[in-house]
Chains A and B, each alone.
Chain A
């Protein structure tokens, strides 16, 4: 392995070269992602802190059980699994775009970038549907001795403990749950969705640049690589959002 040899023989920290063998743009992207890790980390950790301070927290299987066009069928986690797979697949198409870029294969890059962008849009559409469903979906809740129908918003949470024996229109009636649930759910998935959206915008810009042959003229597709890092990071964050909100 010539590469391994070169690694061993190089004095990486002696100056005049990158100690990491990467150009500064990629290095900055990595460190930016680390910084963003702390942004998301702070969000998720404060979510965890508030959740640990509550006596009751809604069961995600109970909250996220709807699927488009499936009516009132009880399908826990089905829709979010779909969203997760969409994001994983769009991450795969992004790797393939980067791979095509390494081979200076413009057509390949264009093809895979288009798929990635479509995946991004599909994810955003799913998220829009899920938000709409949560906000507009009305659930019978006992508030101050009266039964009201409310949806999930940043200041209302119908997913409290069930009140045994109280029914309304054939549905179980619940008490209100911790309002922080909606706040963190919409706050964090919104912030993640914002990242997905900006990732899609970046990818569209990259696609246009590829179509115009900018990277061919430059002689490398490093910009695609950097955009790819950002896109994978979005996927990575979703792994943890998925974990914290839907699974545990």
Chain B
């Protein structure tokens, strides 16, 4: 369903960007590349730490956190510059960014669950990967028993 450019939906047109737009694109490209290279460098740091004796897990976790933040920065630049969301009016930006807040609880609750399964796996005898005990009495578990 195409429509004409004279659609009444549009109140004003953005003036098409000139050379400075191209400059901005190139600047963003360089920025994204630099961030990626930093991320890779940090990846290597983790690699060599793993190779060494007794790697500090806190430090590795910290480096991973830095990498996550750098990736979020990359995402910000892609959305804001390449997808031109930064050039849109505030209403549109808000309707797209605000619902993403739902991810906070989505991620928290799921990861929390994952860690608690790990806890069960390591402490609860029933959850340990110990299939042999079933071999003795296969009828102990009903087919597809979990409802």
Contact = CB atoms under 8 A, between A and B. Distances in A.
| A–B proximity contact (CB within 8 A) | yes
A7 B89 contact: yes
Given A17-B11, A77-B44, A240 B114 contact: no
Contacts of A243: 39, 67-68, 71
Given A7-B89, A99-B17, A248-B67, A45 B36 contact: no
A233 B62 CA distance: 28
A235 B78 contact: yes
Contacts of A228: 83
A229 B32 CA distance: 18
B50 A59 contact: yes
Contacts of B117: 49, 52-53
A92 B11 contact: no
Question: Chain A's interface: helix, strand, loop or mixed, by majority?
Answer: helix
Contacts of A232: 78-79, 82-83
A84 interface: yes
Contact of B92 (A20, A102, A239): A20
B22 interface: yes
Contacts of A89: 29
Nearest to B12: A6
A45 B82 contact: no
Interface string A214-237: 000011101100001100110110
A212 interface: no
B29 A88 contact: yes
A92 B27 CA distance: 11
Interface residue range, chain B: 35 or more
Nearest to B60: A248
Interface residues of A, number: 68
Contact of A235 (B5, B22, B82, B122): B82
Instruction: Identify the interface centre among B42, B50, B82: most chain A CB within 10 Å of its CB.
Output: B82
Interface stretch (A21-29, A124-132, A148-156, A198-206): A21-29
Contact of B118 (A12, A48, A52, A218): A52
B57 interface: no
A216 to B, nearest CB: 12
B114 A49 contact: yes
A30 B46 contact: no
Contacts of A34: 96, 99-100
Contacts of A107: none
B115 A53 contact: yes
B122 A55 contact: yes
Interface in B26-75: 29, 32-33, 36, 39-40, 42-44, 46-47, 50, 64, 67-68, 71, 74-75
Contact of A22 (B29, B78, B88): B88
A172 interface: no
Nearest to B102: A38
The 7 closest A-B pairs by CB, nearest first: A52-B114, A53-B117, A49-B114, A102-B16, A20-B92, A61-B47, A18-B9
Interface of A: 2-3, 6-7, 10, 12, 16-25, 27, 30, 34, 37, 41, 45-46, 48-55, 59-61, 76-77, 81, 84-85, 88-89, 91-92, 94-96, 98-99, 102-103, 218-220, 222-223, 228-229, 232-233, 235-236, 239-240, 242-243, 246-248
